[in-house]
Amino acid sequence: MTTDSQASQQAPGSEPQKIGIVGGGQLAGMLAEELKLQGAVCYSLDPDPQSPAVTMGAVGVTGDRKNNADIARLAAISDVVTVDLEDVSVEGLAEIAAAGHRVIPPVANLQRLTNKLEQKKILQQAGIPTSPFIECDASDNFDYGQLGWPVVQKAAQGGYDGRGVAILRNPEDAASHLQAPGYIEAFVADVTELAVMVAREPGGRTTVWNTVEMAFDPVNNLMTWLIAPARCSAEISAAAQDFARRTV
């Protein structure tokens, strides 16, 4: 993504930077809006020609975010390629990176981001607070109650927007567990979920946005409301931002 300083230094009449986004959801749309303000052209790869990204200013490239050839088509018209969500073909992104195209975040990071179990392990190793978890093979013989009840089961891959998550409240729920390897983690009750957006430059400098609060549907595990700024103390907000910086 072009920074404000880069945009301000761009010579009048020069070729605008072309950013390709694999995916066309709301996050891609918000990025497209910002890129347009900075004078860049944004392309969005999505099967829907009227995806949210297109309605918010991106140029649509009809295709599948999990199709390597479609990702290569996007890369061919882009200076930089990034992603809208983690449910993409990392293999396709690795192929275009190997061919010399710039991919942000780096493919090695995307490989970690597409596997929630690896994310948990990385957070644990880095000393970032996270709920207790145990790797789960999703077999019928696995002891789903070893962390107590209720417990949250999460698929390692393919889970987003409420998919790949199951709250198992008792042994009866465990009988209908997710059929996908991943992990179980301790259920954290009566909490407020906060989120922080962080941008990190290759040199390590970070920019952190205000802490926001998220409210989720307890059944579908989908966000229903986002409240900005978060309704929390300045101390809690600062701690959340510190965790976010350390994570990236």
The predicted structure's pLDDT at residue 190 = 76
Element (H, E) at 102: strand 102-103
The pLDDT of residue 13 is 57
The domain 4-113 having CATH identifier 3.40.50.300: the answer here is no
**Amino acid 219: pLDDT:** 79
Amino acid, single-letter form, for residue 32: A
Q: Is the peptide bond before 129 cis (omega within 30 degrees of 0)?
A: no
Q: What phi and psi values does residue 118 have, to the nearest 5 degrees?
A: -65, -35
- CA distances 197 to 52, 69, 182, 212, Å, are 20, 31, 26, 9
Residue with tokens 């644990």: 124
Residue spans of alpha helices (H) in the chain: 4-9, 26-37, 52-55, 68-76, 90-98, 107-113, 116-125, 171-174, 234-247
CATH number for the domain formed by residue range(s) 116-186: 3.30.1490.20
Query: Among 123, 142, 140, 141, which residue's Cα sits nearest to residue 131?
Result: 123
Rounded to 5°, the CA angle 176-184-219 comes to: 55
- Going by their DSSP bridges, the two strands 182-186 and 151-155 should be labelled as antiparallel
Domain ranges of the chain: 4-113, 116-186, 193-247
pTM equals 0.79
pLDDT digits (tens, 9 = 90+) for 108-134: 989 888 899 999 999 999 999 899 999
Residue 12: per-residue pLDDT:
55
Residue 77: left (phi > 0), alpha (psi -120 to 50), or beta? alpha
User: How many Å is the maximal CA-CA distance in the chain?
Assistant: 66
DSSP codes joined into one string, 17-73 = PEEEEE--SHHHHHHHHHHHHTT-EEEEEES-TT-HHHHTTPEEEES-TT-HHHHHH
> Which pLDDT tens digit goes with each residue over 216-241?
887 777 889 999 999 999 999 999 99
Please name the residues in contact with 94: beta carbons below 8 A apart, sequence gap of 6 or more: 107
Encoded tokens for 150: 């209720």
Domains 4-113 and 116-186 share a fold: no
Question: Can you say whether the dihedral through the CA atoms of 114, 116, 121, 122 is positive or negative?
Answer: positive
Could you list the mean pLDDT of each consecutive 10-residue stretch along the chain, which spans 248 residues?
Answer: 40 79 95 94 97 97 98 98 92 98 93 90 91 96 96 89 88 95 93 91 90 88 90 96 91
